[in-house]
Structures are given as C-alpha cells and as structure tokens.
Amino acid sequence: MNKAIFLDRDGVINSERGYTYKLEDFLILPDLIETLQLFQQKGYLLIVVSNQSGIAKELYKQSDVELLHNYLINELNKNNIRLSEIYYCVHHPDVCNCICRKPDSLFIEKSLARFQIDARKSYFIGDKERDVEAAEKAGVKGILIEANSSLKAVFNFIETLQNSSI
C-alpha cells in the first residue's frame, strides 16, 4: 500500500489571497518545493484537493483553474516533483449541492482507492477546519496550519510522528 500527503491549494501551496484564479496572483509559497521534495523522497504520493467555488459563483472559469494547475505542475516538474493528481470541486452550496466539496471526503476516498493508499499512513495538510474534517472522514490524519505558513515544520512534525510509531 502507498502513503500520501494530501494538500489543500490556496494557503498551503500558494499564497492565500481570496479567490486566486489569475496567474499573476498565483504565488507559490517559499519552501513548498523543498518540502515536497522531502515528502517525495520519503515515499509519499502528493495529491492536491481544493475547493474552487468561484467557478460555481461565475467569478472565474474552469479554464482559469486549469491554467494555474498546469503552471503549478510545470514548476514542480522542473524540480523533479510529481503530483499524482489535482482534484478540485467546482461547486458551492449557495449554487448547488455535491459530495466532493470539503468538508466532504469524496476526492480523498477516490484517491485512497485509485492509488491504493493506506489512510492510516497518510496526512492531509490544510489551512481550514474543513480540510481536517474531510481528511478525518476518510480516515486520514488532518493537520491544520496557518494560511501561508511554512510546510517545513509540518514535514518535521510528520517525521517525528512516523519515528515515534516505528
């Protein structure tokens, strides 16, 4: 079985600025590359799970999100980092109901099955309670961080957890 690091997007991967859909506003956080390399070296699959409700609210288009995600994938690939998948929910409860929007756990559960991931050895890093709630619904350990903060401390925390459970 595989293990994974699930990541929220805005506030964890890139700077949280409200609705981020323009390339010029998509700023990758400073130590993201280094930390993702460390997670990958430890054998974790890297999966992004994000709510993009601005699409349902017609603030931006799905093509805007795809452009940002392609940019992110290219930047990570330049540093030998591979994302297994980017899942994003296009819905908002004011417009329509769904089971893929966090705090629901559809995308996490889908990943667990698709990539044969052991939920007990996996973590979801997010900057909102709904990220942690979605993770825990799927049996994954949720880690709440402050938006736009360093992931390096999270890596060290997970390493400590892993070493104490050996």
The distance from CA 15 to its chain's CA centroid, rounded to whole angstroms, is 13
Residues annotated catalytic, as ranges = 8, 10
What does the pLDDT read at residue 163? 79
Task: Work out the percent of the chain whose per-residue pLDDT is above 90.
Answer: 82
What class is the 3-164 domain?
A: alpha beta
Which residues are CB-contacts of 96 (< 8 A; sequence separation ≥ 6)? 56
CA distances from 157 to 128, 151, 162 (A): 18, 10, 9
Residue 100 near residue 87, CB atoms below 8 Å: yes
Residue spans of the domains in the chain: they are 3-164
| pLDDT tens figures, 26-82 | 999 999 999 999 999 999 999 999 999 889 888 899 999 999 999 999 999 999 999
pTM (2 decimals)?
Answer: 0.94
| pLDDT tens figures, 69-84 | 999 999 999 999 999 9
- Rounded CA-CA distance 47/4 in Å is 7
